[in-house]
Amino acid sequence: MLVAIDGPVGAGKSTVARAVAQHLGFTYLDTGAMYRCVALAAIEDRAADHPRPLERLHIDFEGERVLLDHMDVSDAIRTPDVSNEASRVAADPVVREQLVDRQRRLTARGDWVAEGRDIGTVVRPDAELKVFLTAADEERAARRAAQTGRSVEEELADLRERDERDRTRDASPLRRADDAVEVDTTGLPFDEVVRRIAALVAERRA
């Protein structure tokens, strides 16, 4: 079974998807981390003036850790610079084709909760359950500010810019799949969001 969780920056996708996966005993896939790895490689390669071909980048998950060419980059891929570069590389159709292919092969067997922007629309339109997670802009910015230590205003400006880029790009723009269930997490306690999604999964399985 595959549960697809898509939505904009700061809607709570990764914490929710991780908790839902743990609750159900499914494997969690953070597809944003894969775009972030490509972005980090691009930044590193520009500095070293030594480009690595995309198809040869090793991106692996080891529990909670993200590995790029066998190095633990779990923290390095979360900086504001990498976030911005990730949103740029994610607009490149060549990058998308490569990563979507990897994501399809990864999730072909077993039970998954996969989280990103295009899981329900492009990667796995056959997902048994599609959730589109949203929240008010200000709440999303406040959540990000609590994680990064930057101001809410800075985060708000940043996430609006990234949302705009994710929604208006030609290659797989962020949009809700027609058959996705929209869950607005504004003001909802975290446990309640997880409970709702787990209930939807139980419904689909029945």
Residues of the shown chain interacting with ligand DC in the complex, contacts defined by CB under 6 A? 9, 31-32, 35-36, 86-87, 90, 116-118, 162, 166
- Judged by beta carbon, residue 118 or residue 155, the one nearer ligand DC is 118
The number of helices, as runs of H, and strands, as runs of E, in the chain is: 7, 8
Least Cβ distance, residue 145 to ligand DC (angstroms): 15
- Judged by beta carbon, residue 163 or residue 184, the one nearer ligand DC is 163
H helix runs in the chain, sequence order: 13-24, 31-48, 80-89, 93-106, 137-148, 152-168, 190-205
Least Cβ distance, residue 36 to ligand DC (angstroms): 5
Matching residue, tokens 């490689």: 41
Least Cβ distance, residue 101 to ligand DC (angstroms): 13
Give the Cβ contact number of residue 102 at 10 Å.
16
- Judged by beta carbon, residue 1 or residue 171, the one nearer ligand DC is 171
The whole-angstrom separation of Cα 102 and Cα 131 is 21
**Beta carbons of 117 and 132 less than 8 angstroms apart:** no
Least Cβ distance, residue 63 to ligand DC (angstroms): 18
The whole-angstrom separation of Cα 15 and Cα 170 is 28
Least Cβ distance, residue 120 to ligand DC (angstroms): 10
- Residue count of the chain: 206
- Judged by beta carbon, residue 87 or residue 134, the one nearer ligand DC is 87
- Judged by beta carbon, residue 72 or residue 203, the one nearer ligand DC is 72
- Judged by beta carbon, residue 79 or residue 184, the one nearer ligand DC is 79
Least Cβ distance, residue 84 to ligand DC (angstroms): 8
Q: Taking Cα atoms as reference points, which of 78, 8, 119 lies closest to residue 68? A: 78
**Beta carbons of 6 and 177 less than 8 angstroms apart:** yes
SS3 65: strand
